[in-house]
Amino acid sequence: MSEGFTQRVPRKFLGKYRPKIDGPEKASGKAQYADDLTIKMRFPDLLYAKVLHSPYPHARIKGFDLSKAKALPGVAAIMSFKDPEFASLKLTNAGWTDCVDTVPWDRMMFQFRDRRVLGEYACWVGDEMGFAVAAESEEIADEALKLIVIDWEILPFVLDPIAAMKPEAPLVHQDLCTTNILSPDPTGGEDVFEDRGDVDADFGKAEVVVEGTSIHHNATQNSMDNWCCLVDWESDQLTVWSNTYAADQLRMHIHEMLGLPLHKIRAIASYVGGQFGRGDTGDQPFFLFTALLARKTGRPVKFRHTRRESFLNSRQPAIYTCKAGAKRDGTITSMYFKSIGNVGAYADLSMFALKFVPKELAEMVLAHIPNLRMESYGVYTNGLPGCMMRGVGNSQFNLIFGHMIDLLAEKLDMDPIDLCVKNFAHEWESLPSKSLDSVLHEGARRIGWKEKRHLPGKGETFEGVKKRGVGFSCHPAWHAEWQEKRRGQVQVAMTLNPDCTVLLNAASIEIGGGSNTCNVLGCAEALSFLGIGVEDIHWSSIVDTNDGLKDCVQTDSAVSYLQSEVMMHSARELKEKLREIAARQLKLHPDQIDFSDGRIVVPAMPELAMTVKELLQKGDMAPVTVNKSMAPDVTLTGIPFFANFAEVEVDTSTGKVTVLKLVVINDCGTVMYASGAEGQQIGGQCMGMGEALTEEIIYDRATGIPLNFNWIDYTIPTMADMPDIDPVLMEVWKGVGEYGACGIGEGTVTCTPRAILNAIYNAIGVRVNDIPIKPEKIIKALGKD
Amino acid sequence: MPAKETEVTYRAMDADTLSASQYRTIRIRVNDVWHDFALGADLSASSTLSFVLREKLGFTGLKVSCDEGACGACTVIKDGKAVLSCMVLAVECDGHDIQTIEGLPKDDPVVEAFAEQSEPGYGTALQCGYCTPGFVMTARALLNENPAPTLTEVKDALAGNICRCGCYAGIAQAVLRASAKIAETAKTAVARSGV
């Protein structure tokens, strides 16, 4: 099926098709996740925590009676929002950082502090609030919550963001805000956060003007590994096992909120069963109430979400409108994007998606559009909080971006591929972008763009009612530039044992993306002068803040190359140390010594036949250790692009859309691990197709209650639903450093919905722009309802 | 595989036995070893098989992700058939044979095929790995019954399992590869026996 991928620079270990490093451990069921590491057998004294989930979309606790709940046998502690431990805590949010740096409370990226660790207010159905219980079993803890007698003040609620913007709308945070519209913040900027040239004047003189709308709903991450933590707080030492993906940040979160010094907090994490952006950066209040229950009871306390409770946040939903002006020759002269984001009950990182990322895109892809305005409003509602999900803000923006391309191209009677190549490139490069050009033409070839594309709705009809079409969408990997500019220190510790085996500590929590495989391969590659193989390198899935390294957080899939890049430097330093050791042993100058494939090479002594291992066995046999901490270089490299092409079949009698084929093309800079990268490309289509066609959180509008917080009614595509997928890896662009790679995991999802939507338009000649595209929307669009 | 012994030990569970159940011991054969549980003390009539396997016996290979029969992460093999252990009560397993992923041999072709999957065009058969034990056990049960399934049969059998990382293409390939490994082993065995 696949043509496979050939490396630009041949390498010994990296960039190959090969099994995952953790394959045997995971395939045999031996891999241990947070829930496994914290079973009661390992903590016989364990208690289980549960927290009240609000039954109302908007309410306040006026009064309560705990006596019945406290009397339940097996209940160890009940804490309430009235307890001084909670009443004294600072207001917080669940997304302090941009996931790159560890930050304290006062430097949180978006300064919306609207969450209480346990509050008296309920702001959505499911809000964790009011009371937390520790008991001998989860069942007892649940029962105790039911026995708490609560006197509720039920407040009016609002679910629709447009309604929530109106002055008469109920206030989601009546104690904190005077309007549901988020105020401009220092990071996101003003409501109009980008305004260059003169958009209005250009619309007046542009030869072609088009307008479009797109609506992205609240799909949710649905990591299979439900959030889980266990906190043990003995005397002044707190240890937390969890499936966070940012251990160092978790340590800082606890330090800042609970006041323990950093050396008294130990955060341990292992494999995580999928992250996808859930919980934003993980500064979740449940870590704190679990910790306070552990302190109160003096016993280890475990908290784990049920599947229903794991519907904790969603992709930041956004309604985008755009107006674009162009010349007859296809030169885009103006674009005006406006978005209204439903941030749900808590702001967290919403403005990351709504302002920060589009602002980046203004420079990354729209740099050559002279007149550009971007405007955005985040709006509180009494629904599921918006959050990051596999690419913060990208999917939402791409849904309108790809729409405008298709609209403009149609009006200009141009191939949309040509329109893209003509207009889009990074600010540091001139048009056309070689990366974009390569990605789009390769995609076109793989899907059969020229042969299959036809006038909208004018293609062949199959079985009397079925129409087929093709579409695509493209996007820049904007974070590739951002990583280089913004990533802080990336830390790796490498130890060479006297038997020439290696202990690698490239701290990063493996969430599935395969960065651990990349790291081990990268280590072998960097140390190839030692003649070692992958089997000679020890690595661990356990990340422990007591190791003294900041874990490199799995965002932008950047860990796949960032730590390998550092290892190139570690290897150089290690080589220097080995030279000195060899010089002492051989009574030579270090400059006279080199190494090749595990052997010592001294040009002046061609007869010398000594391996590095033999050398290391001669001296005091102390391991040779290199600790490296460095920030990535800053070089103006521009960015690579990626694209998705889709072929669909629409049954015009039922409205059912069947995706026949997906092609996903990524310019990776350097492919670090081909099988893993293709796995990401293929896997991303599952999530992207789900978001486009089936996945949707549905509320009962009368009560504000979400109806489908389960996997029967929230429909994730299964093996039977997925079409053939053609993963295409390319190396056109190159970033900075030895590898100059770019993470691709998040981006594989970004363009899928819009590619499918444009294909649907090509098939039936009618546009549907609010996802998910369920059959009833097609039927309605066709005027058959 | 369910031994003869299993059939002998099996006692039908009727309303009367259930009412007296708090005084009973139930026996479950897990990975060829019998385990006794005192109902009322070790577990209750509502304890699920997944709870017993993970929390009482420490078989943490299976995962409880949805706990309502929607995802397949907790799949184990009961008397030769794949079952969702979150939807099976422990008391229903009294006298029955359960195989968890820990009970598969070290060189099980399904486990090996999932671990090795990497050829161009299909990605890997696992990323985060959380769903993997469930997929492996569902695939193992399929191949026990049908050692040479078609791609359509594989998709049909595994469509009840969710992989949120979306490794379906790699998983399907791994199952077909496991099937080929089984056929290869059978051929070698026949050749060795000189038939």
Q: Check whether B4 has a pLDDT greater than 80.
A: no
Domain assignment of residue A538, yes or no: no
pLDDT value of residue A414: 98
Query: What stretches of A97-212 show up as alpha helix (H) in DSSP?
Result: 138-147, 161-164, 199-205
Q: Is residue B51 a contact partner of residue B44, using CB atoms and an 8 Å limit? A: no
Burial category of B105 from C-beta neighbours within 10 Å (exposed 0-12, middle 13-18, buried 19 and up)? exposed
Q: Tell me, yes or no, whether A761 and A673 share the same domain.
A: yes
Domain assignment of residue A327, yes or no: yes
> For A40, which of B55, B61, B112 is closest by C-beta distance?
B55
Helix (H) or strand (E) holding A151: strand A149-154
List the one residue out of A142, A150, A145, A125 whose CA is nearest residue A56.
Answer: A125
Which of A368, A387, A414 terminates a domain? The answer is A414
Cβ-based contacts of B162 with chain A (< 8 Å): 224, 711, 716, 718
Min Cα distance B98 → chain A (Å) is: 16
A551: three-class secondary structure by DSSP:
coil
User: Which whole-number Å values give the CA distances from A274 to A267, A509, A672, B42, in the listed order?
Assistant: 19, 11, 20, 33
Cβ-based contacts of B126 with chain A (< 8 Å): 20, 23, 26-27
Domain assignment of residue A395, yes or no: yes
Chain B interface disruption, residue of A42, A276, A719, most B CBs within 10 A = A719
- Contact criterion met (CB < 8 Å) for A720 and B156: yes
Cβ-based contacts of B114 with chain A (< 8 Å): 23, 26-27
Q: Tell me, yes or no, whether A367 and A468 share the same domain.
A: no
Q: Tell me, yes or no, whether A641 and A781 share the same domain.
A: yes
Distance between CA atoms of A753 and A693, rounded to whole angstroms? 8
Distance between CA atoms of A123 and A382, rounded to whole angstroms? 5
Helix (H) or strand (E) holding A213: strand A208-216
Cβ-based contacts of A272 with chain B (< 8 Å): 128
Min Cα distance B69 → chain A (Å) is: 9
- Domain CATH for A581: 3.30.365.10
Contact partners, residue A142, CB within 8 Å, separation at least 6: A50
pLDDT value of residue A619: 83
Distance between CA atoms of A313 and B179, rounded to whole angstroms? 40
pLDDT value of residue B14: 43
pLDDT under 50: residue ranges of chain A = none
Q: Is residue A662 a contact partner of residue A644, using CB atoms and an 8 Å limit? A: yes
- Contact criterion met (CB < 8 Å) for A27 and B155: no
- Contact criterion met (CB < 8 Å) for A512 and B129: yes
Cβ-based contacts of A719 with chain B (< 8 Å): 154-155, 158-159, 161, 163, 168, 171-172
Structural domain including A575 reads 489-522+552-630
Q: For strand A641-651 and strand A657-667, is the pairing parallel, antiparallel, or unpaired?
A: antiparallel
Question: From B132, which residue of chain A is nearest by alpha-carbon distance?
Answer: A27
pLDDT value of residue A736: 87
Instruction: Please count the residue pairs, one from chain A and one from chain B, whose beta carbons lie less than 8 angstroms apart.
Output: 211
Q: Tell me, yes or no, whether A625 and A638 share the same domain.
A: no
Distance between CA atoms of A533 and A351, rounded to whole angstroms? 45
- Contact criterion met (CB < 8 Å) for A514 and B71: no
Burial category of A651 from C-beta neighbours within 10 Å (exposed 0-12, middle 13-18, buried 19 and up)? middle
Q: Tell me, yes or no, whether A640 and A620 share the same domain.
A: no
A198: three-class secondary structure by DSSP:
coil
Contact partners, residue A484, CB within 8 Å, separation at least 6: A632, A633, A634, A635, A637, A735, A736
A414: three-class secondary structure by DSSP:
coil
Distance between CA atoms of B167 and B172, rounded to whole angstroms? 9
Question: From B136, which residue of chain A is nearest by alpha-carbon distance?
Answer: A27
- Contact criterion met (CB < 8 Å) for A28 and B104: yes
- Contact criterion met (CB < 8 Å) for B170 and A28: no
Distance between CA atoms of B20 and A473, rounded to whole angstroms? 65
Distance between CA atoms of B142 and B145, rounded to whole angstroms? 5
Q: Tell me, yes or no, whether A285 and A329 share the same domain.
A: no
Q: Tell me, yes or no, whether A428 and A393 share the same domain.
A: no
Question: From B106, which residue of chain A is nearest by alpha-carbon distance?
Answer: A28
Q: Check whether B13 has a pLDDT greater than 80.
A: no
Which of A367, A387, A414 terminates a domain? The answer is A414
pLDDT value of residue A733: 95
Mean pLDDT computed over B14-22: 46
DSSP state of A397: H
Q: Tell me, yes or no, whether A352 and A427 share the same domain.
A: no
Largest Cα separation within chain A, whole Å, is 90
pLDDT value of residue A488: 81
User: Which whole-number Å values give the CA distances from A331 to A409, A626, A641, A717, in the listed order?
Assistant: 11, 53, 20, 39
Distance between CA atoms of A508 and A275, rounded to whole angstroms? 13
- Domain CATH for A301: 3.90.1170.50
Domain assignment of residue A737, yes or no: yes
- Contact criterion met (CB < 8 Å) for B165 and A274: yes
> For B165, which of A35, A683, A710 is closest by C-beta distance?
A683
Cβ-based contacts of B63 with chain A (< 8 Å): 33, 35, 224-225, 273
Min Cα distance A611 → chain B (Å) is: 32
Structure tokens at A378: 């985040």
At residue A428, φ and ψ (nearest 5 deg) are -85, -5
Question: From A709, which residue of chain B is nearest by alpha-carbon distance?
Answer: B66
Cβ-based contacts of A514 with chain B (< 8 Å): 124, 127
Which residues share a beta bridge with B48? B89
Between residues A100 and B94, which one has the greater pLDDT?
A: B94
Q: Tell me, yes or no, whether A717 and A751 share the same domain.
A: yes
Least confident segment among A88-92, A141-145, B16-20, B128-132: B16-20
pLDDT band at B15 (very low <50, low <70, confident <90, very high): very low
Chain A interface disruption, residue of B54, B84, B127, B173, most A CBs within 10 A = B127
Cβ-based contacts of A711 with chain B (< 8 Å): 66, 68, 70-71, 162
In one-letter notation, the amino acid at residue A765 is: G
Q: For strand A537-538 and strand A543-544, is the pairing parallel, antiparallel, or unpaired?
A: unpaired
Condensed to tens digits (0 to 9), the pLDDT of residues B136-187 reads: 999 999 999 999 999 999 999 999 999 999 999 999 999 999 999 999 999 9
Q: Tell me, yes or no, whether A495 and A643 share the same domain.
A: no
- Contact criterion met (CB < 8 Å) for B117 and A4: no
Q: Tell me, yes or no, whether A202 and A325 share the same domain.
A: yes
A395: three-class secondary structure by DSSP:
helix
Q: Tell me, yes or no, whether A373 and A246 share the same domain.
A: no
Distance between CA atoms of A562 and A564, rounded to whole angstroms? 6
Which of A630, A649, A672 terminates a domain? The answer is A630
Q: DSSP strand E in A497-548: where? A: 502-505, 537-538, 543-544
- Contact criterion met (CB < 8 Å) for B128 and A271: yes
Distance between CA atoms of A416 and A436, rounded to whole angstroms? 13
Distance between CA atoms of A708 and A306, rounded to whole angstroms? 14
Min Cα distance B186 → chain A (Å) is: 22
Q: Is residue A723 a contact partner of residue A441, using CB atoms and an 8 Å limit? A: no
All structural domains of chain B, each given as residue ranges with its CATH number in brackets, are 4-103 (3.10.20.30), 109-189 (1.10.150.120)
Q: Is residue A506 a contact partner of residue A547, using CB atoms and an 8 Å limit? A: no
How many structural domains does chain A have?
Answer: 4
Q: Check whether B2 has a pLDDT greater than 50.
A: no
Domain assignment of residue A542, yes or no: no
List the one residue out of A244, A92, A109 whose CA is nearest residue A553.
Answer: A244
From the centroid of its chain, how far is CA A15? 23
Q: For residue A432, say if its preceding peptide bond is cis, omega within 30 degrees of 0.
A: yes
Name the percent of chain B in helix, strand, coil, to the closest 5. Answer: 45, 15, 45
Question: From B43, which residue of chain A is nearest by alpha-carbon distance?
Answer: A137
pTM of structure: 0.96
pLDDT value of residue B9: 35
Domain assignment of residue A16, yes or no: no
Largest Cα separation within chain B, whole Å, is 58
Domain assignment of residue A680, yes or no: yes
Domain assignment of residue A21, yes or no: no
Distance between CA atoms of B136 and B143, rounded to whole angstroms? 10
> For A678, which of B68, B121, B131 is closest by C-beta distance?
B121
The rounded radius of gyration (Å) of the Cα atoms in chain A is 28
Three state DSSP letters for A443-488: HHHHHCHHHHCCCCCCCCEECCCEEEEEEEEEEECCHHHHHHHHCC
Cβ-based contacts of B172 with chain A (< 8 Å): 719
Q: Is residue A564 a contact partner of residue A519, using CB atoms and an 8 Å limit? A: yes
Chain B interface disruption, residue of A224, A230, A695, A730, most B CBs within 10 A = A224
